[in-house]
Structure 1
C-alpha cells in the first residue's frame, strides 16, 4: 500500500506545479498611451489691407456738347478730335448768307420804325396826329428793336468757340452738312482745368465699405507699367438701372497726362480702409504642403493634438502667412509635430 501512497503524492504535486505554471501566464494589464513631448508657439496676427478692385472708363467733370444756336450749312470745322483748345478759340462756323440777310432785314425794319415814330410824334405835336397813333408807332419801334437784337444774337452764335481750356473729344458733323438748331457739332471736355476722373462700378457691399477720400491705385493700358494715384471723389446715391451696380468716381491726381483720353479703360484698387487679419506661424509648424494647402497641429487643452487644414500665403524669413484655417487658434505645435496624428496625446514642454 505504501507505493500507491507515494504515487498519489507525486500526482498531486504535479497538478500543483501545473496550476502554478498557468497562473504565471495570465493576460497583462492594458498599457496607457505614451505622451508625445511637443513644443508650442503662439500664432501671430498681422493686419492686411484688402483693396477693392473695380474697373471703368476715364472721363471729366465738364464734358460739353457744343452746337449752333440756329440751323444752317456747316462752313468750317477748325479742329479735329484730340486737339487741345483754349477758352475762346474759334472751333466751327456755319454759312452766314441767310443769317446776315435776317440781320439786315431786321435792321431795315428797325430803321423804318424809327422814322415812323418820329413822324407821328411830330404830327402829334402839331395837333394833327392822335396820341393813339404815336403810341402805336412807339410799340412798333420797340418790337423792331427786339427783333434786331435777336437777329444779331443768332449771328453771334453762328460760330462755336471753346467755353474752357480742354480737349476735343468728338467731331459729330462734317463741313457742308446741313444741321438743325441745337444739333451737337463737337464734344469737348475741361480736363486741363479739372483733371481726369475714373468712374468705376462696385457692388452694394463694396460701396458700403468705400469711404470718401479713400486712396486708389489706377492702371491703364495707355500707360503700361505706370500706376496713377487717385482718391475717391464721389459715391452715387442710387444703382444703375441696367447693371444694378453703384458708381464711384475717382479723382486722378496725375490726371493731367496727355496720354489719357475720355473713354479709355482703367482698373483701380481702392483701399477702402477696412482691414482683415491673417495669421503667421513658423515654417517648421507646417506639414504636408501642397500648393496653397497645408496642415498644422494645434491644441486647446495642452493634452490632445488636433490636425488642421490651412491655406498658406507668403513665406518670408522662415515665417509663413496663413490666410485661412487658424482664425480661432492661439498656438501651433512645432517640435514633435512630425510624430503626431490627429487626436494624439501630448505633453507640452515649456
Structure 2
C-alpha cells in the first residue's frame, strides 16, 4: 500500500510534464491571413513613359562670318524660307574697304613681280629677288581671296527649306563673328522628333528601333506611331537625365510645332534576363525611385520580405526587373501586418 501511494503522485507529475508541450503550441492568433498570387515573368517587354519637346533633327543657328553692324534682317519668326534665300545682311562699308585694300595690294604685287621678272631676264635682278617677288604675289592673292570670302559671308542665306524658329538679333545691332542671328530648321522636309529625358535605368532598357506611341494636347484623342532613333551617350547637364530621340512616322501633323510638349510611351524589348514581373501597386512597399520591397512566400506558411528593382510603371501595375527570381508566390493582401518570417495562412 505504501508503494502504491508513492507511485500515484509520481504518475500525476509525469503526466503533467508530458502534456506541457501541447499547451505551448503555436498561438493561432499569431498566424496572419493573407492573399497571394502566383508569379510569372512577362515575355521581356517593358513600357516606359516620359514627356519631352518636339524638335527636328536639322535645326541650325545662322551667323555672319565677320564682325559688323546688322544692316537688315529680312524675315520674322515663323516665316517659311527656301534654300539660298537672303535672310540678313551686314553694313558692308568696312568689309568693302578691306576688299579694296586687298585688291590694291594684289595689283601692286603683280606689278612688282613683272618688273622683277624683266630685270631677271636682263640679268639685273637675282634669282632670289625674283623668287621673293613671286612669294609676295602669292601672299597678296591669298589675302584677296580671304577678304572676298569673308564678304560673301557678310550676308546670311537659308541653308535649307524650312521655317525661321528664332530671331536672335535686330537691325542696327553690332554682332561678333559667329554670334547666332537666326535659327531655322528643315521642317518642310525633316523628320520630327520628340526629345525625352529618362532615368539611367530606363536609358539602359531602351534601344534604337524600339516602337513607341506619342500623344500631345494639340491632337486630343490621337496617337502617333513613332520609333526610337537615337540615345544620348552622356547625361544632360541641365535636366540630369539621359536624352532619347523618338521619331514620328509618316508625314508631319499640322498641329505640331518646335518646342511643343508631347508624351511618349516606349515598348522596350531590351530587358535584362527573360522579362519582368507585373505586380499590383498595393503589393509594393517602401518604393523609392527604382527600389522597393515585397513580401513573398515559398511554402505558403512563412512570409519573406525581399528587396526588388522597379523597372517601370503601367496603368495599374508595377514592373519588377530583379529580385523575385526564386519566389513562388507574391503576397498581395495583408502586407501591412507582416514582418519578415511572419507565419501566414492563405485565404481565398
TM-score in same-fold range (> 0.5): yes
> What is the CA-CA distance between 1:255 and the residue it aligns to?
5.8
CA shift digits 1:128-158 (9 cap, x unpaired): 2232322222121111111111111011101
Matches within 5 A, 1:14-163: 51-163=47-159
Check 1:228–1:126 CA distance in 2 against 1; reply closer, same or farther (3 A cut): same
Contact 1:58–1:196 (CA<8 Å) still a contact in 2?
yes
Q: Please list every run of 5 or more consecutive structure 1 residues that lacks an aligned counterpart in the other structure.
A: 1-42, 280-299, 302-321, 330-341
Q: Please list every run of 5 or more consecutive structure 2 residues that lacks an aligned counterpart in the other structure.
A: 1-37, 270-274, 281-298, 301-315, 319-327, 331-343
SS of 1:57's equivalent in the other structure is strand
> What is the CA-CA distance between 1:88 and the residue it aligns to?
1.6
Residue number among 203, 213, 224 corresponding to 2:209 in the alignment:
213
**Larger displacement relative to structure 2 (151-160 or 241-250):** 241-250
> What is the CA-CA distance between 1:242 and the residue it aligns to?
4.7
State yes or no: 1:171 paired with 2:167.
yes
Match of 1:230 in 2: 226
> What is the CA-CA distance between 1:245 and the residue it aligns to?
2.5
State yes or no: 1:193 paired with 2:227.
no
> What is the CA-CA distance between 1:87 and the residue it aligns to?
1.9
CA shift digits 1:257-314 (9 cap, x unpaired): 34322221111111224675689xxxxxxxxxxxxxxxxxxxx99xxxxxxxxxxxxx
CA RMSD of superposed structures (Å):
3.4
Separation of aligned partners in 2, 1:125 and 1:343: 116
Match of 1:204 in 2: 200
Contact 2:41–2:276 (CA<8 Å) still a contact in 1?
no
CA shift digits 1:55-77 (9 cap, x unpaired): 01112222211110011111121
> What is the CA-CA distance between 1:195 and the residue it aligns to?
1.0
> What is the CA-CA distance between 1:211 and the residue it aligns to?
3.4
Check 1:117–1:219 CA distance in 2 against 1; reply closer, same or farther (3 A cut): same
Check 1:345–1:202 CA distance in 2 against 1; reply closer, same or farther (3 A cut): closer
CA shift digits 1:159-214 (9 cap, x unpaired): 11112222211110011111111111111122333311111112233223333222
Separation of aligned partners in 1, 2:208 and 2:127: 70
SS of 2:214's equivalent in the other structure is strand
Contact 1:46–1:278 (CA<8 Å) still a contact in 2?
no
CA shift digits 1:224-263 (9 cap, x unpaired): 3332211111223333345443222101114623432222
Separation of aligned partners in 2, 1:258 and 1:91: 25
Instruction: Using structure 2 for the length normalisation, give the TM-score.
Output: 0.63
SS of 1:199's equivalent in the other structure is strand
Instruction: Using structure 1 for the length normalisation, give the TM-score.
Output: 0.63
CA shift digits 1:102-152 (9 cap, x unpaired): 111111111111111111111221222232322222121111111111111
Aligned length: 251
